[in-house]
Structure 1
């Protein structure tokens, strides 16, 4: 029987902008000194290890709709398209092996 992944709960109500996302994520993951990145590249680095939990784990993102409405800055995406900062976060987490449950 496969081992169950650890679960962490992210409070989407606490996410009002990009910096508050990283603060809330650091808190949710109980990362050392509350740090788990400050931008997408730093988040990817943290997911590789040394700054708190390493994937695989499950992130249960409560009130994710509220966070989605606030993390709207557009970033370039493959194919000349763009994606929201929220979607870019999901891509980084997924690429690293984090299972995200949006609630």
Structure 2
């Protein structure tokens, strides 16, 4: 990457760009850890006042699990998972799985 600038230009822009790049690079290893990723997503869920059960189901949904997989993992019916997902979508103002994933995985 070439960050050459003339001496007459304002270096504040370059400094803030470098600071952002360093911050992004430093945070990558943390996001690679599944537990850290889960904690960050749960914190994001907190902004929407999701219950613990809604968080569990929403997290499974983000992990590309089916309603059957989520229901078996949590010991609840598929109907309960689908009903809870509707509540999660309503609270998070999402209309489909794609929008939900975009909102929480970015």
Asked if Structure 1 and Structure 2 have the same fold, meaning a TM-score greater than 0.5 normalized by the shorter chain, the answer is no
Q: Which has the larger radius of gyration?
A: 2
- TM-score, reference length from structure 1: 0.30
- TM-score, reference length from structure 2: 0.29
